[in-house]
Amino acid sequence: MELEGRKRVVIENVKPEIDCGRFPIKRVVGEKVIVTADIFSDGHDSISARLLYRRQRDKEWREIPLRLIENDRWRGEFIVDEVGIYLYTVEGWIDRFATWQRDLGKKWDAGYDLKVDLLIGAGHVEETSKRASAEDRKKLIRLAEVLKGNASIERTVTAALDGELIELMDRYPDMRFAVSYGKDLAVVVDRKKALFSTWYELFPRSCSSNAGEYGTFEDCERLLPEI
């Protein structure tokens, strides 16, 4: 119950979704499924979100980061590559490190003393290192030591805002308070030929083999093998 109270992200208005997920959407092999959602929370903390998808027979989800479009609208996409049923859903969470990094940049620009802030950031990095692979753990611990070290403030802040650190931290997010959309939405995937349709129209009166006479249903039966 305590954990539920700390799940602050709200996910709404996921599209495509038909009748609240009661019916599947449809695509053909090779098409994109573009998913959008409104994702927000209380306060001004940074949010991260991802799109999860899998074939119905698979157990593991594949992950695609969602990108903020504007306001609270997020977007992601995946490609369906075989006939069958795919499932997809959305997750979102408060990104404490991204929030810290954003605020650190603002404080640096404003000329604040950042000693305490850098120690807080080092704590975030050390915590993430516990979830990382052996190789990435070494990198994260080294970067945490840089944030706690005695190097010049310019060098330390540069390391804190560096793309390498961002990539490593994004690789091992803290999902304890992540919020799921709560529905697995379905995609029915057909062959590419399902994009096209053909119909055949037959007028029985025109099927007569005798000139000047209307055709009958028996005349139509005679033509069935040809049709």
Q: How far apart are CA 46 and CA 124, in angstroms?
A: 15
Q: CA-CA distance, 78 to 31, in Å (whole number)?
A: 9
Strand bridging mode 62-65 / 47-55: antiparallel
Nearest to 61 by CA among 196, 217, 146, 180: 180
Stated length of the chain: 227
**DSSP alpha helices (H): ranges in the chain?**
2-5, 96-110, 115-129, 134-148, 153-160, 163-171, 217-223
Please give the Cα distance from 176 to 224 (Å, whole number): 65
Query: Taking the chain (227 residues) in consecutive chunks of 10 residues, what is each chunk's mean pLDDT?
Result: 74 97 96 98 95 97 96 97 97 96 96 95 97 97 93 93 95 94 97 84 85 87 84
Beta bridge partners of 185: 88
On whether the CB atoms of residues 173 and 200 are closer than 8 A, the answer is no
pLDDT at 83: 97
Q: Are 197 and 184 in contact (CB under 8 A)?
A: no
Q: What is the pLDDT of residue 201?
A: 82
